[in-house]
Structure 1
């Protein structure tokens, strides 16, 4: 039996649309992500449990775990007789890498169970392909940090898809899921097909400057450059409380804030625990819409997906 945990993640980090992604874990030591268990069996079967299990489709061939199993079988050219148990703890269409959690945990669990017939490069490519089937285009900004941990920059070069870059260890990340869905496909469809040259130049300047600031440990510069001029100006139409949230959190002491992935989850950054608690309290009172929503004070998860037990 193999049990894998795959952590939640924040895509884009404002300045890195489809290029940056970071794995996160709560500072209290709890695990924020999906669990997948693989056991020997006489035929394939799938069991689903967890807080958000009821959000997944009932049809087997529409389930992402089944799709992972099918892709793995096709790759090794034989059916794999196993029982898979998915514990779904990240809500779908939340902006926290929900599909990546399930994809990474499932493929890694199957691979380890079968004594690693795929290397990590082959696994990552398969993960990106499955993510693309959901979002409409192949992208790695959630699966890469979910698999490898830390802050990842997606290079998408042959044999060099992703690289880990340093991030400020004193930053505290507060994430809030309001309790409703916002599909990645919808969030992507609202973006323009073309951007002005000036916007592209400014975005390049912001992203390259942010990466430089991370490597040279210039915290203030990194914060100043953490601007989203590609997606946020359009996606805020889907998040009516966003501007009020940003201004309120800035007053409390947030260094920066933004949309997590394609939303509707948001994140804020600070460097003091007492401010993090105040930010979390404000988000609980003002950003959550129902009892499905949650807020977590987090840190960077440097481990990524890992075997438990």
Structure 2
């Protein structure tokens, strides 16, 4: 029976996770149950249209045709046609994007919209076609293509955890886009958005074009030891690897009060502190809720720059994108 409407939700995410530039990503879920991610509703319609609602809807382009969700829809239909589907026989849908994440926040805002759109469309049309049109690997490739249109380059460290949930390592080998990693269930991830905007393209432009050999070796060592420590559940060693030698030394100049915030978090015993994606959001990893509460409050009082900012105590969202 053909489904008439559904809604897809995709969580916010941390790209890089400090030590894994473009290779690690983590999905976030506030412990208080609040939404930290975008929703996309899909329903049958006479003609395609996109509506945009939500707290940050007014920050998106006024023309729905240029919205990334519209581009996702057209790309999805094109991919269906390429694999032999008679797309002219398919029902038309209308879509509504509920934009809960701020643009240029370092929380995977565009990835959340993209993942919710593709995941929703894939599930919606499965009821029409009698089978799921695309498997997870193909969907991730499609998500990465659209994410690349926003950021200027194809990378999966936001779309993969947003879609799959948890902590993910990018493989990008044949049809294996990302791998799910073990995590520490007792860790709390304080995530704070300052309220200012840092574009991914600008944050990438500030980075050097070449990385010294010593830095490259350190980066590879940290990532390898971190993954090994996750599998052996060596919390202390994993946390010791969570420093950014690639991007943070340059990007922190774009983030007011970053060094001060790091210093406070570390004095409170945070296991790690870093830039979420390209910034301006930051994150602190804590091994106790009491510690997380203190750091969360300080960041809310001191790191946030205006009334659009927010701070949440999170744990990793193990589900990723969901349908309801």
- Superposition TM-score, scaled by structure 1 size: 0.98
Counterpart check, 1:28 vs 2:32: yes
1:92 is aligned to 103
Q: Distance in 1 between matches of 2:208 and 2:172?
A: 23
Q: Distance in 2 between matches of 1:208 and 1:294?
A: 33
1:47 is aligned to 51
2:129 is aligned to none
1:166 is aligned to 182
Any idea what SS the aligned residue of 2:65 has?
Answer: helix
Give the alignment partner of residue 131 of structure 1, picking from 142, 147, 150. 147
Q: Is there any run of 5+ residues in structure 1 with no aligned partner, and where?
A: none
Give the alignment partner of residue 112 of structure 1, picking from 116, 123, 135. 123
Query: Deviation of residue 100 (structure 1)?
Result: 0.6
Query: Deviation of residue 248 (structure 1)?
Result: 1.1
Q: Distance in 1 between matches of 2:65 and 2:196?
A: 25
Deviations 1:96-154 (A, max 9, x none): 00001000000111111111212211111000000111111100000000111010000
Pairwise mapping of residues 1-309 of structure 1 onto structure 2 (< 5 A)?
A: 1-77=5-81, 78=87, 81-115=92-126, 116-308=132-324
Q: Distance in 2 between matches of 1:269 and 1:113?
A: 37
Q: Is there any run of 5+ residues in structure 2 with no aligned partner, and where?
A: 82-86, 127-131
Any idea what SS the aligned residue of 2:180 has?
Answer: strand
Query: Deviation of residue 31 (structure 1)?
Result: 2.4
Q: Distance in 1 between matches of 2:80 and 2:229?
A: 43
Query: Deviation of residue 183 (structure 1)?
Result: 0.3
Q: Distance in 2 between matches of 1:274 and 1:111?
A: 41
Q: Distance in 1 between matches of 2:113 and 2:19?
A: 26
Any idea what SS the aligned residue of 1:86 has?
Answer: strand
Q: Distance in 2 between matches of 1:256 and 1:122?
A: 34
Q: Distance in 2 between matches of 1:248 and 1:203?
A: 25
Q: Distance in 1 between matches of 2:125 and 2:156?
A: 24
Q: Distance in 2 between matches of 1:93 and 1:240?
A: 15
Query: Deviation of residue 253 (structure 1)?
Result: 2.3
Any idea what SS the aligned residue of 2:169 has?
Answer: strand
Q: Distance in 2 between matches of 1:243 and 1:30?
A: 28
Q: Distance in 2 between matches of 1:205 and 1:46?
A: 46
Any idea what SS the aligned residue of 1:114 has?
Answer: helix
**Structure 1: 4+ residue segments shifted above 3 A:** none
Any idea what SS the aligned residue of 1:220 has?
Answer: helix
Any idea what SS the aligned residue of 2:51 has?
Answer: strand
Any idea what SS the aligned residue of 2:278 has?
Answer: coil
Aligned length: 308
Q: Distance in 2 between matches of 1:34 and 1:89?
A: 5
